[in-house]
Each structure stands twice: as C-alpha cells, then as structure tokens.
C-alpha cells in the first residue's frame, strides 16, 4: 500500500520548495491561474496536478484553506465527495484506467506536501505503472501534456455538473 502512495509525495515536496508561506491551492484563485482548473463548485474545485503521477492525476480541493477533514463543514464534505465521484466518472470515461487511487494525505508523515490545505488525490492507474516508476527512478514520462488533459476532462465535468449527477 505504501508503495502506491509514495510517488505524489515527491512531487509535492518539489512543488512547495519555493516557500512554505505560499499555498498553491489558494493561488489557484488568482487571475491567469485557471489553466489547471477543471471545474468549480460552490465550495470546492477540481484541479490537475502540475506534477502528475499519471495522465489524469487530479485533486479535489475545498475553496477554504482548511487542513483537515475535521475542519470542513457538512456542505464541503458533501461537495468534496460529489466532486470526487465526478472525478471517478470523468477519468474512467476519458482514460479507461485499470484502477484508481483516491486518497488524502494528512500531515508530513503521511506524505502531504501541501500541509495546510486539504486535497483529495484521484490518480488513474494501469497495470505496471509502479514497475515503470521503479525502473526510471523519480522521473516519469507522460504521453500527454496538461493542456491536453484539461481539454479532455473539462467537458465531462461540465456535463456532470449541469446534469446534477
Ligand atoms: Zn490554501
């Protein structure tokens, strides 16, 4: 199990090395930072991981800068789960993965890179992708750029949101 969760840890350590005072999820609201965002809900949003473990690696994030599930409101809990469900549907439709990892890392010991802003990882998985990782170390070669991923997934999220699914 631990093997499966290790890869995105490294990505976040890298992405936050510029400074602990900045929060990449709060910054996602700034003008011009929308390219990675797939959909916005009332109290949460879905964003592509800038350093994906696999094509389609995304995160479901509450708008509020809250560190834990314990500090979320019932509305946030409901929407986070609904968005996570939409992520499962969208990734399955667009990528037909053989599996999905869906999970939350709370605290540095658990592998969280962004410590104070809760986020749910959703990662499509294929047989052998972990083996590939071990061969090439921490470098992964992805077949698709993030813009392409966003163009593939956005219409599916929009359809799901508008159909109230
Ligand atoms: Zn934040």
User: For residues 18 and 39, what is the distance between their CA atoms, to the nearest angstrom?
Assistant: 27
> Tokens at residue 92, please?
């399955």
Q: How far is the CA of 116 from the centre of ligand 1 (A)?
A: 7
> Residue 133 above 80 pLDDT?
no
Q: Is 119 a catalytic residue?
A: yes
H or E segment and range at residue 155: helix 146-162
pLDDT exceeds 80 at position 162: yes
Give me ligand 1 centre to Cα 112, in Å.
Answer: 13
Dist. CA 160 → ligand 1 center (Å): 26
pLDDT in tens, 65-106: 999 999 999 999 999 999 999 999 999 999 999 999 999 999
Measured CA angle at 149 (ends 124, 92), to 5 deg: 35
Mean pLDDT over residues 100-113, rounded? 90
Res 125: pLDDT: 93
pLDDT digits (tens, 9 = 90+) for 2-47: 344 444 444 444 444 333 357 989 888 666 678 899 999 999 999 9
């Amino acid at each position: 199990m631990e093997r499966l969760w290790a890869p995105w840890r490294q990505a976040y350590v890298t992405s936050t090395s510029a400074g602990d005072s900045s929060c990449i999820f709060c910054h996602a609201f700034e003008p011009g930072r929308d390219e990675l965002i797939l959909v916005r809900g009332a109290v949460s949003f879905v964003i592509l991981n800038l350093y994906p473990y696999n094509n389609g690696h995304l995160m479901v994030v509450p708008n509020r800068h809250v560190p834990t599930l314990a500090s979320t409101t019932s509305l946030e809990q409901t929407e986070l789960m609904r968005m996570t469900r939409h992520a499962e549907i969208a990734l399955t439709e667009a990528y037909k993965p053989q599996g999905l990892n869906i999970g939350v890392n709370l605290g540095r010991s658990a592998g969280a890179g962004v410590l104070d802003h809760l986020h749910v990882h959703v990662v499509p998985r294929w047989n052998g992708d972990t083996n590939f990782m071990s061969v090439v170390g921490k470098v992964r070669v992805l077949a698709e750029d993030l813009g392409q991923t966003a163009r593939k997934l956005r219409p599916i999220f929009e359809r799901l949101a508008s159909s109230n699914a």
